[in-house]
Amino acid sequence: MQLNRVLVPSLAGLFFYMNDKLENIKKLNITKPLLLDCKQTVSNFPLAYETYGKLNENKDNAILVFHALTGDQFVSGINPVTKKEGWWNAAVGPNKAIDTNKYFVICANVIGGCMGSWGPKEINKKNNEPYGLNFPVITIKDIVKSQETLLEHLGIKKLLCATGGSMGGMQALQFCVTFPNRAFSAIPIACSTSHSAQNIALNELARQAVMADPVWDNGEYLKKNVQPKNGLAVARMVGHISYLSEKGMQEKFGRKLQEKADYEFSFNADFQVESYLRHQGYTFVERFDANSILYITRAMDYFDLSRQFDGGLVEAFKNQQTKFLVISFSSDWLYTTKENKETVIALNAAGADVSFAEIKTDKGHDSFLVNEPEFLKTMKGFIDSMHTKFKNEKRV
Amino acid sequence: MKKEFKAIADLLPKNVTVLDVGCGDGSLMNLLIKEKKIKVRGLEIKEEHVTKCISKGLSVIEGDAETELNQFPNQSFDFVILSQTLQAFYNPEKVLKDLLRVGKYAIVSIPNFGYWKVRTNLLFFGKMPVTKTLPNTWYNTPNLHMCTIKDLFNFCSDKKIKINKIIGLNENKTSEIKKSNLEIKNLFSKIGIFWLG
C-alpha cells in the first residue's frame, strides 16, 4: 500500500477538478416526480447524459445504451472528463458495430452514479452537504425509470434498440419489462434476470473494502474533501479479478515478475498481476466516488425481475413485442452462459421473439468491452437487420 | 438440398408458426418467410451458423436439440421441422417425442439408407456408402442411427405416432409414399419427408 502515498495530496484537489469539469456536460433536470422502490418520491434532480450521431427524421434510429457498474455516459471517443477512451469505444462510433454515422446513440449516467447524475456525492439542498448515506437506496428499476424521462425529453417514442452489458444488460431487460413496446429490439449482454449469490458476495466484498477504510467515515468523507481511496481501490481490484477468466489471466500474466529479475522478498508488487491490480485500483479512485460503488452494487444485488412479478419470470416477459438477442461469453464466470440461457428460456416460455448466441472467448466477463470480433459482428448484424425491420414496421 | 426445402415449404400452410430445429445458415427459414409468410424461429448448435442467421435478421437460439428442446413450452409452434438430423442424435426417440410436444405437428426428413445406390454400395463394393445425401465416411460421420424410410415408417407405427403424409424425394421428383408403395419408394427415394402428429 505504499505505492499510493503519492496520490494522497493530489486527490482532494482532483475531485474538485472533476466536479468543475462536470459543469459542462449535458444534464436534464428531471422535474417529473419519481417514486423510488424504497417508497421515497423524488423530483428536481439532474440526469447527466451524452448522445452520439443524429436522430433521423423518422426517429427510427435511436439506440439507448446502458452502462455497467463503473461506466458513465461517455460511451465513445474520448471521455471529456477523464481524457481516456470511452468505455464502449470498441463497439460504438463511426463505422463501428453500433455505427454512429447511422444511429443516434444515447447513454445516461445512472442515478446513484458520480458523473453528473443525481448521486451520493451531489449536494443535498436540505442541508447544503453532500448526501453521503442520506442518499436513498436505489434499484435498477429506479435507474431505468429516470432514463425513460430522458427519452421523453428527446422526443423518442420507440427505440430501435436498448442494449448494455453486465449491469447495463440488466437495465435493458428491466427497461423492456417496465416499458413494454418502447424498444423495437433489445440486446442484453452477459447478464441475468437476478443477481446470483456469488455476485452478491463479490459486491459485498467490494462494499466491505470501502467501509473498512477509516477515511470512509460512515460515508461522510466528502465533507473533508477526501476519498477512502485505499478501500475503493481494493473494491476495484476485486471487480477486476472477476472480469477476467482464469485462462485469460494465466495467459496474460502467468507468474511473470514486474520489471525485476528476482523476488524482492517484500510485499511490493513483485508479480505483474499484482502490479496490474494496483494500477487498476488506484487509477479508478481518480474518477469514482466510493459511496457510488456502495449504492450501485446494492442496486445490482436487489435486481430480481421475477420478484417484481411474485416469482413469475415468465409473467415478467408476458406480451413482449420486443425482439431480443441475448449474448453470453463462454469464459464469463460472473454471468455464466447458463444464467444467460435462463433469460432465454423465460423469454421463450413467454412466447417472446428471442435469439441467443454464446461467443467462444477466453476474455471472460470483460469480453463485451474489448475488441471481440465475433461478438461485434453478431451485434452489428442484429442491429442492422432490426433497423430494416423497424423502418418497414414504421412505414406500414 | 434446395429441392428438399422446397418440398417442405410446399407441405406447410401459410401463416403458421414454425420452429426449425438445426436450422443451419437459415436458408429454409428464409424460404418459409418469403414464400409462406411463416413466423419462423430456429435452434442451431454451431455458433458460426447462429451468428450468420442473426445477421440476416432471423431469430435463432444457439443450443443443442438433444438437450435443449425443453426450453420451448408445449405446443408452442404449429410445426417443428427437423431436416436430416434425426439420425445424428444419441436418442432419436426422445427427440422425436420432444418435437411433437413442442409442435402440433413435426416435419422430419431423413437421408434414406434404403436408397438403391446406398444398398448397392454396400452389397457390391462391401464399403459403407458415401453418396450425395450421405457425404461422410464411416469414421467421421455424425450419423449414429442411420435408418430407411421403411424403418421410420415402422417406428412410427410401433410408437403410435400418427403419419399424416410422407413425401419421397428423388433427383428432381417428389412423390407421395403410402403403405402400398412403400417397398418401391424405399428403394428409389434419396430423402424421405415425414409429416407427423
- In the predicted structure, residue A19 carries a pLDDT above the cut 60: no
When scoring A185, A313, A354, A355 by the number of chain B Cβ atoms within 10 A, the one with the most, hence best to mutate, is A355
Nearest-Cα residue of chain B relative to residue A346? B71
Task: Name the band, by pLDDT with cuts 50, 70 and 90, for residue A1.
Answer: very low
**Across residues A277-294, what is the average pLDDT?**
96
**Chain A neighbors of B51, CB-CB under 8 A:** 357, 374, 377-378, 381
| Percent above pLDDT 70 for chain B | 99
Asked if residues A94 and A192 have their Cβ atoms less than 8 Å apart, the reply is no
Position A291 scores a pLDDT of 98
Q: Is the pLDDT of residue A311 over 50?
A: yes
ipTM of the complex: 0.89
Average pLDDT, chain B: 94
Residues 6 or more apart whose Cβ sits within 8 Å of residue A303: A139, A140, A170, A174, A194, A195
Q: What is the pLDDT, as a whole number, of residue B131?
A: 86
Using a CB cutoff of 8 Å and minimum separation of 24, what contacts does A210-215 make? A210/A235, A210/A290, A210/A293, A210/A294, A211/A294, A213/A290
- The ranges assigned to domains in chain A are 7-395
Quote the pLDDT of residue A18. 56
Q: Can you give the pLDDT at residue A7?
A: 41
A325 touches chain B (CB under 8 A): yes
> Could you tell me which CATH class the domain A7-395 is placed in?
alpha beta
Overall average pLDDT of the A28-48 stretch: 97
For residues A92 and A67, what is the distance between their CA atoms, to the nearest angstrom? Answer: 12
Answer for the pair B26, B52: CB distance below 8 angstroms, yes or no: yes
Please check whether residue A381 touches B, CB under 8 A. yes
Give residue B2's pLDDT band: very low, low, confident or very high (50, 70, 90): confident
d(CA A357, CA B58): 12
Residue from A72, A270, A332, A366 carrying the catalytic annotation: A332
Rg of chain B, C-alpha, whole Å: 16
Q: Cα–Cα distances in Å, from A334 out to A244, A305, A330?
A: 9, 18, 11
Residue-wise pLDDT tens digits, A192-215: 999 999 999 999 999 999 999 999
Contact assignment for B54 to A385 by CB distance below 8 Å: yes
Of B41, B51, B59, the CB nearest to A381: B51
CA dihedral B73, B75, B81, B84 (to 10 degrees): 70
Average pLDDT over residues A319-344: 97
Burial of residue A38 (number of CB atoms within 10 Å: 0-12, 13-18, 19+): exposed
Cα A187 to Cα A39, A320, A324, B102, B162: the distances in Å are 30, 14, 6, 26, 40
Answer yes or no: are the C-beta atoms of A294 and A208 closer than 8 Å.
Answer: no
The answer to whether A130 and A124 have CB atoms below 8 angstroms apart is yes
What is the distance between the alpha carbons of residues A71 and A231, in angstroms, rounded to a whole number? 19
Residues 6+ apart with CB under 8 A from A304: A193, A194, A195
Confidence of residue A312 (pLDDT cuts 50, 70, 90): confident
A357·B47 Cβ contact <8 A: yes
CA atoms of B104 and B100, how far apart (whole Å): 6
B57 and A385 within 8 Å at the Cβ level: the answer is: yes
pLDDT in tens, B83-114: 999 999 999 999 999 999 999 999 999 999 99
Give the pLDDT confidence of A345-358 residue by residue, as tens digits. Answer: 999 999 999 999 99
Q: How many Å lie between the alpha carbon of B149 and the closest alpha carbon of chain A?
A: 33
A145-182: b (≥16 Cβ within 10 Å) or e: bbbbbbbeebebebbbbbbbbbbbbbbbbbbbbbbeeb
A388 touching chain B per CB within 8 A: yes
CA A64 – CA A71 distance, rounded (Å): 14
Instruction: List the single range of A99-108, B102-111, B171-180 with lowest mean pLDDT.
Output: B171-180
Computed on alpha carbons and rounded to an integer, the radius of gyration of chain A in Å comes to 21
A226 sits in the region (left: phi over 0; alpha: psi -120 to 50; else beta) called beta
The yes/no answer on whether domain B2-196 falls in CATH 3.40.50.150 is yes
A253, three cell numbers: 500474466
Residue with the bigger pLDDT between A35 and B88: it is A35
Q: Nearest chain A residue to B41 by CA: give it.
A: A353
B74 interfacial to chain A (CB closer than 8 Å): no
- Whether A195 is catalytic is no
Q: Which residues pair with B44 in a beta bridge?
A: B62
Closest CB from B41, B62, B76 relative to A357: B62
- Can you give A179-247 as a three-state secondary structure string? CCCCEEEEEEECCCCECCHHHHHHHHHHHHHHHHCHHHHHHCHHHHCCCCHHHHHHHHHHHHHHHCCHH
- Give the per-residue pLDDT at B171: 82
Inter-chain touch A385–B62, beta carbons under 8 Å: no
Query: Could you give the CA distance from residue B188 to residue B112 in angstroms, rounded to a whole number?
Result: 9
